[in-house]
Amino acid sequence: NTSPHPLLIPEHPCPLAKSMSSILPFTPPVVKRLLGWKKSANGSSGAGGGGEQNGQEEKWCEKAVKSLVKKLKKTGQLDELEKAITTQNRNTKCVTIPR
């Protein structure tokens, strides 16, 4: 399959639009950073194989992280979550997720 990724915009003058592979219209930088830490089903980091099912899983993951980010912004805990994930430090504050 040599066709370009269907979500890329090859003729768009903006270089960022060419690299955007997000399924949802706009993905905030914090969501992209947190998705970069996602573990696959086999335990490895990052995105796994291809296929339609993987695309649906990626879309679901992105929506879930967006929802989590929205909730944690309201409570002011988003920075603490990102700190805990990126530093892999057990001594960070507890992050509670509101319903």
* pLDDT tens string 68-99: 999 999 999 999 999 999 998 888 889 888 77
Instruction: Give the pLDDT score at 44.
Output: 59
CA–CA separation, 73 and 76 (whole Å): 5
Instruction: Give the pLDDT score at 46.
Output: 54
- Give a yes or no: residue 80 inside a domain: yes
Give the model confidence (pLDDT) of 12-27 as tens digits.
Answer: 444 444 444 445 478 8
* pTM score over 0.85: no
- Give a yes or no: residue 26 inside a domain: no
Tell me the two tokens of residue 34: 């947190």
Give 45's contacts (C-beta < 8 A, 6+ positions apart): 36, 37, 38, 39
- Structurally, the chain folds into a number of domains equal to 1
What number of other Cβ atoms are within 10 A of residue 70's Cβ? 12
The mean pLDDT of the chain is 75
- Give a yes or no: residue 41 inside a domain: no
Q: What angle do CA 65, 13, 3 make, to 5 degrees?
A: 70
> Buried b vs exposed e over 30-54: b needs ≥16 C-beta within 10 Å?
bbeebbeebeeeeeeeeeeeeeeee
- Give a yes or no: residue 93 inside a domain: yes
Instruction: Give the pLDDT score at 87.
Output: 92
DSSP 8-class letter at 10: T
Q: Which domain holds residue 73?
A: 56-98
